[in-house]
Amino acid sequence: MPIVQIAPATRQGMKLLISLFGLSETGKTYSALKLAAGIEPDPRKRGLLDTEGGERGRAYVDVIEGGYMYGSLTAPFTPERYMEALQDFVAAGVTTLVVDSVSHAWFAEGGILDMVENATEKNDMAKWAKPKRRLGKLTRQWLGCGLHLILCSRAKQPMIEENIDGKKKYVVGPVVPIQEKSLRYDMTIMAMMLGDGEFTVDKQWGGKCPGSLRPIFAAGTKMDEAMGKRLIDWIGGQDAASSHQRALALKADEVAQYGTDQFRNFWKALKQDERDFLKPKLDNYQSVAKAADDEATRLAAGERENSQSGDASDPFGNGPALQGGVVHTSEAA
């Protein structure tokens, strides 16, 4: 089978990826839970992953009909701990998950900025490299977890420099989400919350909404369950995958990233019905595993090359001989 399954396009099985951002007390959590309740009518299949202090996400259980499944993630807010928490919700049978908030993976204890600040590398590019790769793995899992996701982000208004009457002055800038900037490219919808369920998806305010969904997210409306129902109708309803199958697909994708040997061992341990479920994507998993093998080989070759170039602490370790303060080379001799 090919690594890409080519078939007539349909929205059936598509996953909703929604980002809600806003300043404090603009209704992000409440609006996200109302939207989730419309997308998934079964309270046992909709959830909230709460990272906020005091487990504030519990406060809405009486105002969301039927309630929701709840889990609290504490510090450190590393990408890996977010990934583990996501896997727990998948295994619990949740199909629609609110994450409040993703900002902690960026700015809080154990987050990306924390990693960069504590990095031992000498230059800024090197300090950012590993944290960004770790965050990239979390983003990949969000995109491939098989759930409808509503990601809440805190926001800020940074000071920006403007030229006013010929003088440079600092003024309050537009509201921007506290998250990795490239995350917006993967979102189906981005809405800035304004308070009391009101929002904007206008691009000038950092919003994003495909044209076919603009009637659902029309200006002047409030975010509620009815909006979630219209979204799930737009994609043709929930898919029929079980919680075990979603967890299995998530695990297969994760293991493939560690290379061919690990994926082969994972595949051998599966039951026949599990293999049958994953088989349509087997060629893609194998391709991912081979790419991981090639990357590991490339990195190993780079490490060997660096080790052969000498000890960086001794700049003359493999260079020409230094005698009496004079560098001697074959030409000089």
Distance from C-alpha of 277 to C-alpha of 270, rounded to nearest angstrom? 11
DSSP 150-199: EEEEEEE--EEEEEETTEEEEEE---EESS-GGGGGG-SEEEEEEETTEE
**What is the rounded distance in angstroms from the CA atom of residue 83 to the CA atom of residue 89?**
10
* pLDDT tens, residue by residue, 22-48: 999 999 999 999 999 999 999 999 999
How confident is the model at residue 159, as a pLDDT? 82
CA–CA gap between residue 86 and residue 83 (Å, rounded): 5
Asked if the model's pLDDT at residue 316 lies above 70, the reply is no
- Residue 333: band (very low, low, confident or very high) from pLDDT cuts 50, 70, 90: very low
- Of 95-104, 165-174, 208-217, the least confident: 165-174
Where b means 16+ CB within 10 Å and e means fewer, 7-26 reads eeeeeeeebbbbbbbbeeeb
> Where do the domains of the chain lie?
17-234, 243-308
Q: φ, ψ for residue 271 (rounded to 5)?
A: -80, 165
| Cα–Cα distance, 218 to 18 (Å, whole number) | 16
Q: Between 259 and 328, where is the model more confident?
A: 259
Q: pLDDT tens for residues 99-149?
A: 999 999 999 999 999 999 999 998 889 999 999 999 999 999 999 999 999
Is the pLDDT at 320 greater than 50, yes or no? no
Q: Radius of gyration (Cα) for the chain, nearest Å?
A: 25
**Measured between alpha carbons, how far is 150 from 205 in angstroms, rounded to an integer?**
19
CB 228 within 8 Å of CB 35: yes
Residue 318 confidence (pLDDT): 45
| Residue 245 burial class via C-beta count within 10 angstroms: exposed 0-12, middle 13-18, buried 19 and up | middle
In terms of CATH architecture, what is 17-234?
Answer: 3-Layer(aba) Sandwich (3.40)
**Residue 306: band (very low, low, confident or very high) from pLDDT cuts 50, 70, 90:** low
Asked if pLDDT for residue 14 goes beyond 50, the answer is yes
Please give the structure tokens belonging to residue 123.
């230059």
Amino acid at 295: E
Q: What's the angle, vertex CA 59, arms to CA 55 and CA 62, rounded to 5?
A: 145
